[in-house]
């Protein structure tokens, strides 16, 4: 296969990128300076070579322990449990959370054959034993995410020293009540707070 | 900058890829096997290193002359003039054309400061002198593409030996008359053919 077709093929394997977009990206790289293309190649290569799982929390990082686990200013008594490492930047951007993280690497999904043994749970149980005060469960508000949260609550809630919390569900800020789905509105009602 | 942020940044420089998509692609590469990422890196590197302009037609290819110019089965008396190398795969896919190509590398656009000297025109004039019978102008049906076509017609039509043609304009196949714009419908009327 020639170089152009081969790159179109590789781009088209990425999620959400069809053949036409893959072609557009390839020709863009050819029209842009070759240095741009080389820089992209090096960045991809570097990610493949350097990024690993943080031994403490399961985050993806080029450091082990990762930047959050290694940061002495972060609150070691709070651990926020997320499904994927890619959830962390979204939480960091919200600018409100200063504790540590724990990445499960997925969510319970019997239909896809994902059970408790496929998740990064052992480390979490150990951390709870190490004196963590609060586990904030931030799995996705989906069926599988809820099932995972319930499972974690049962698993960790048995330890009397730790408080297990779950992110609030309700109307998204900037959303429109008219277009919100019934389940979200019901959650927003049951979770309503005094003003 | 760490490896993940640096790749997100490089992806986000590509056209049509915003920061969120760049993040999604990066984490996809991290979740997929490292070999997938390395293959992408190599494909990008290879395109940067191997692809060059065909000396005869200006196409982008890892061969010089390119696969079309080198193919003895193609009709050397027909040359199809396109704006960009990326237009060629679309024409090839239509499966109807068996001649050669000529890539201008852009279109006349005084507002963007693109004049005749910025296009790959010298080679085209030489090729016409070499006994080409028909020049098919396949610039885009845009204002700039039309201006470029008119310019090429004046430049090449002076040679009495060569026929200069232009791709037909009209209703796109599968399109809807109701939603076609007025200029297209007018072109379809003026270009109507006896059934």
- A101 in the same domain as A44: no
Q: Give residue A22's pLDDT.
A: 95
- B76 in the same domain as B162: yes
pLDDT tens column, A118-127 = 999 988 988 8
Cβ-contact A169, A186 below 8 angstroms: no
- B86 in the same domain as B17: no
Q: Give residue A165's pLDDT.
A: 92
From the CA of B45, how many Å to the nearest CA of chain A? 6
- A45 in the same domain as A85: no
* Crossing angle of the two packed helices A34-50 and A19-31, in degrees rounded to 10: 120
Q: Give residue B148's pLDDT.
A: 94
In a domain, A172, yes or no: no
Which two three-digit tokens encode residue B155? 């430049």
In a domain, B142, yes or no: yes
The total domain count for chain B is 2
Examine the pLDDT at B128 and tell me if it is beyond 90.
Answer: no
Q: Give residue B113's pLDDT.
A: 92
In a domain, A153, yes or no: yes
Strand order in the sheet with B163-166: B99-103, B75-82, B134-137, B163-166
Mean pLDDT of A9-38: 93
In a domain, A115, yes or no: yes
* Window A:14-73, CB contacts with B under 8 Å: 14-17, 21, 23-31, 34, 36-48, 50-51, 60-63, 67
Considering only the beta carbons, identify the residue of A6, A27, A62 that sits closest to B46.
A6
- A89 in the same domain as A46: no
Asked if A95 is an interface residue toward chain B (Cβ–Cβ < 8 A), one would say no
Q: Give residue B130's pLDDT.
A: 84
In a domain, A56, yes or no: no
Lowest-confidence range among A14-18, A82-86, A126-130, B35-39? Answer: A126-130
Which two three-digit tokens encode residue A36? 């741009």
CATH number of the domain enclosing A127: 3.40.1360.10
Q: Give residue B145's pLDDT.
A: 92
Q: Give residue A177's pLDDT.
A: 82
Considering only the beta carbons, identify the residue of B2, B61, B86 that sits closest to A62.
B2
Mean pLDDT of B84-88: 93
Q: Give residue A66's pLDDT.
A: 94
From the CA of A91, how many Å to the nearest CA of chain B? 14
Examine the pLDDT at B177 and tell me if it is beyond 90.
Answer: no
Asked if A185 is an interface residue toward chain B (Cβ–Cβ < 8 A), one would say no
Domain range holding B81? 72-166
Lowest-confidence range among A10-14, A42-46, A54-58, A179-183? Answer: A179-183
pLDDT band at B172 (very low <50, low <70, confident <90, very high): confident
Examine the pLDDT at B50 and tell me if it is beyond 90.
Answer: yes
- B89 in the same domain as B12: no
CB contacts of A38 in chain B (<8 Å) are: 44-45, 48
- A132 in the same domain as A81: yes
From the CA of B160, how many Å to the nearest CA of chain A? 35
DSSP character string of chain B? --HHHHHHHHHHTSTT--HHHHHHHHHHHHHS-HHHHHHHHHHHHHHHHH-EE-TTT--EESSSS-HHHH-TTSEEEEEEEESSTTHHHHHHHHT---EEEEE-SS--BGGGTB-GGGSS-HHHHHHHHTT--EEEE---SSHHHHHHHHHHHHHHHTSTT-EEEE---SPPTT--GGGS-HHHHHHHHHT----
Mutate one of B25, B40, B82, B91 to test the A interface: name it (highest A CB count within 10 A): B40
- B162 in the same domain as B85: yes
- B46 in the same domain as B108: no
Mean pLDDT of B48-68: 93
Mean pLDDT of A47-58: 93
Tell me the Cα Rg of chain A: 21
pLDDT tens column, A54-83 = 999 999 999 999 999 999 999 999 999 999
- B139 in the same domain as B106: yes
Q: Give the ipTM.
A: 0.81
- B154 in the same domain as B99: yes
pLDDT band at A102 (very low <50, low <70, confident <90, very high): very high
pLDDT tens column, B15-35 = 999 999 999 999 999 988 889
Interface A–B counts its CB contacts (< 8 A) at 141
CATH number of the domain enclosing B12: 1.10.8.420
pLDDT tens column, A151-161 = 999 998 777 78
In a domain, A119, yes or no: yes
In a domain, A97, yes or no: yes
In a domain, A87, yes or no: yes
Which two three-digit tokens encode residue B69? 């110019």
Q: Do A43 and B10 touch (CB under 8 A)?
A: yes
- A162 in the same domain as A111: yes
pLDDT band at A40 (very low <50, low <70, confident <90, very high): very high
Q: Give residue B74's pLDDT.
A: 96
Q: Do A51 and B4 touch (CB under 8 A)?
A: yes
pLDDT band at B75 (very low <50, low <70, confident <90, very high): very high
Asked if A92 is an interface residue toward chain B (Cβ–Cβ < 8 A), one would say no
Average pLDDT of chain B to the nearest whole number:
91
Q: Do B61 and A2 touch (CB under 8 A)?
A: yes
């Amino acid at each position: 296969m020639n170089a152009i077709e081969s790159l179109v093929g590789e781009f088209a394997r990425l999620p959400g990128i069809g053949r036409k977009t893959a072609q557009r990206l390839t020709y863009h790289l050819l029209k842009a300076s070759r240095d741009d293309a080389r820089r992209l190649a090096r960045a991809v290569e570097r990610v493949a070579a350097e990024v690993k799982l943080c031994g403490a929390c399961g985050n993806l990082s080029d450091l082990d322990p990762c930047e959050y686990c290694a940061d002495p200013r972060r609150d070691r008594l709070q651990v926020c449990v997320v499904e994927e490492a890619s959830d962390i930047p979204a939480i960091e951007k919200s600018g409100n959370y200063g504790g540590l993280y724990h990445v499960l690497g997925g969510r319970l999904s019997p239909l896809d054959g994902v059970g408790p043994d496929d998740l990064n749970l052992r480390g979490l149980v150990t951390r709870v034993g190490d004196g963590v005060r609060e586990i904030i469960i931030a799995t996705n508000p989906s069926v599988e995410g809820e099932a995972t949260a319930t499972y974690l609550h049962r698993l960790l809630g048995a330890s009397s020293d730790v408080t297990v919390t779950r992110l609030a569900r309700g109307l998204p800020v900037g959303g429109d009540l008219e277009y919100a789905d019934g389940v979200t509105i019901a959650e927003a009602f049951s979770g309503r707070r005094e003003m």
